[in-house]
Structure 1
Amino acid sequence: MKNIGIEKESLSSLAVRTIIDLIENDVFKIGEKLDAEQKLADKLNISRPILREALQKLELEGYIVRKHGVGTFVISKTPMLTTGIEKLDSMTDLVKAQNYTVGTIGITEPEVTHDEEIRGLLRLNDEEILLSFERIRTADKKPFALDRIYIPEKYVSTDFITNYANSSILSYLSSAQNIQIFSSHCSLFAENASAADAEKLGIIQHEALQVLEQTFYSNANDPIFHGKSLIVNNIMKFHIVRRR
């Protein structure tokens, strides 16, 4: 039987690690345009095809962006968070799974909202009160998502803001309310950042955001809460596996 072994690291992977080191050490600065491909390949002592392969990986990971006819630009010192969307995990768990420290800033006090569309999604009667609040999620202290949470008052404990609003809502419902979230009806689309949202996320106005909007259901198929997350494009992206 032929031996099965681990192949040596490819030249493109070595080039990726080298360029990341140069970015992390500010040799290649954020916002800086990189040299033309042949000149950069010569500097790194690799072939142009190897460099192109490395640049493709770096763009997928969110370190650079390549603009046709303009050039290649450094946009981040940290890799983009990537995750499958088919499994229902909290945003907190998704980020932690990729070895980032998750944080929450900018939590607002819950306030009464009369959004009839969301009240309808949550099947609330006229007497039930719907609350909403905002929070900004961070990965290694860098904002990556602005959450807008809509949750009926009956599910919000008196210590919710002080003890739970900065972490996973799914975990809160499970531990404090004994409600297990079983599924979500989810929409994923793009939206341009308003001036206010851009300021909160540290991006420019009108920058495209990924929007993940979900209504969460219990194992009895009762709608429990609704969330809308505005996600920065160069920090997190989702992938979906589709099969026939």
Structure 2
Amino acid sequence: MSRIRPDSRPLYILVKEKIDEQIADGTYQPGEQLPSEAKLSEELGVSRATLREALRILEKEGKVNRRQGVGTFITEKVALFKSGIGELNSITETIESMGLEAGTNNLNLELGVLDETLAQEFEISSDRELAVINRTRTANDEAVAYCKDYVPQFYLPDDVTETDLEESLFDFLQQSCGIYITYAVADILPVAADKFLAKQLGVEEGTALLLLKQMHYDDRDNPLLYSKNYFRSDKFEFHVVRNRN
């Protein structure tokens, strides 16, 4: 193992990044125990205090699990997709950015849905119909998210079919409907998988999921698309940058 090369950043950050790299490149596998603090600090050429601070941050991020009197272990499940909540990408783009194949299962298109609450959100009359797109998104054929998307039906072509919606919804709206989404307002909530979601995502009932609720807008602030996306928390991780005024 190569030793840490100091730069202008705090040394514990460099150690943390080095271990991050070794987790990413498979040097350390999920569930594997790290060398003892004495051995690891010697290999990296840092003090044990510096190493402990790096491990503390890794533990806070959920990447390692420190067991008192036993040792430090790589977390069994490390999120496959990591995204800043300020980054507005389609799920297809997120999956493909990892070099994986994005797919769709169990797609169902409902037309003519009336929902008074969502009509208010879309700023349309309550008798205007919505299209509801339900589908499970996959990465290399593994279910990673269940999506429920709502679009005012008058935005869509009259001949829209489920086949049209198998790939990126953002791309379809832009290329086939002339709708370009520029930003979204989102809420993230922790939820437990009910029987339906557990079946769709291939997890146990009660498994922790991340629900991302978003209203999407164009550059004129028109609400275009409302989404409820249920992400497997062992596959997706979202982070946010907060600035102090």
Please tell me the TM-score bracket, short chain as reference.
Answer: 0.7 to 0.9
Question: Residue 26 of structure 2 corresponds to which residue in structure 1?
Answer: 20
**Paired letter, 2:35:** A
Q: Distance in 1 between matches of 2:67 and 2:214?
A: 35
Question: Residue 3 of structure 1 corresponds to which residue in structure 2?
Answer: none
Q: Secondary structure at the match of 1:221?
A: coil
Question: Residue 113 of structure 2 corresponds to which residue in structure 1?
Answer: 113
**Paired letter, 1:161:** E
Per-residue deviation, residues 116-154 of structure 1 (Å, max 9, x unmatched)? 221211122244211212111122222211100111221
The alpha-carbon deviation at position 57 of structure 1 amounts to 4.8
Question: Residue 162 of structure 1 corresponds to which residue in structure 2?
Answer: 163
Question: Residue 65 of structure 2 corresponds to which residue in structure 1?
Answer: 66
CA RMSD of aligned residues (A): 3.5
> Are the counterparts in 1 of residues 116 and 126 from structure 2 also a CA contact under 8 Å?
no
Question: Residue 216 of structure 2 corresponds to which residue in structure 1?
Answer: 216
Q: Distance in 2 between matches of 1:51 and 1:104?
A: 43
Per-residue deviation, residues 90-125 of structure 1 (Å, max 9, x unmatched)? 222223223332221111132443332212111222
Question: Residue 35 of structure 2 corresponds to which residue in structure 1?
Answer: 41
Per-residue deviation, residues 7-38 of structure 1 (Å, max 9, x unmatched)? 49x88747963793574xxxx7xxx6x56xxx
Question: Residue 75 of structure 1 corresponds to which residue in structure 2?
Answer: 76
> Are the counterparts in 1 of residues 111 and 153 from structure 2 also a CA contact under 8 Å?
no
Q: Distance in 2 between matches of 1:150 and 1:104?
A: 17
Per-residue deviation, residues 185-236 of structure 1 (Å, max 9, x unmatched)? 2111111111110121111111221111011112222111210000111111
Q: Distance in 2 between matches of 1:123 and 1:195?
A: 33
Q: Secondary structure at the match of 1:150?
A: strand
- Say how many residue pairs are matched: 222
Q: Distance in 2 between matches of 1:14 and 1:223?
A: 43
Unpaired runs of at least 5, structure 2: 7-13, 43-47
Provide the identity percentage: 20
**Residue 192 (structure 2) pairs with residue 192 (structure 1):** yes
Q: Distance in 2 between matches of 1:213 and 1:79?
A: 20
Q: Distance in 1 between matches of 2:20 and 2:211?
A: 33
Spell out the pairing of 1:84-233 with structure 2 (5 A cutoff).
Answer: 84-157=84-157, 158-163=159-164, 165-233=165-233
Moved more, 46-55 or 226-235: 46-55
> Are the counterparts in 2 of residues 16 and 55 from structure 1 also a CA contact under 8 Å?
no
Please, what TM-score do these two structures have when normalized by structure 2?
Answer: 0.73
Going from structure 1 to structure 2, the CA distance change for 1:235 and 1:58 (only over 3 Å counts) comes to farther
> Are the counterparts in 2 of residues 16 and 58 from structure 1 also a CA contact under 8 Å?
no
> Are the counterparts in 1 of residues 131 and 150 from structure 2 also a CA contact under 8 Å?
yes
**Paired letter, 2:241:** V
Going from structure 1 to structure 2, the CA distance change for 1:149 and 1:15 (only over 3 Å counts) comes to closer
Per-residue deviation, residues 29-58 of structure 1 (Å, max 9, x unmatched)? xxx6x56xxxx526xx74596699579759
**Paired letter, 2:22:** R
Q: Secondary structure at the match of 1:106?
A: strand
Going from structure 1 to structure 2, the CA distance change for 1:11 and 1:104 (only over 3 Å counts) comes to same
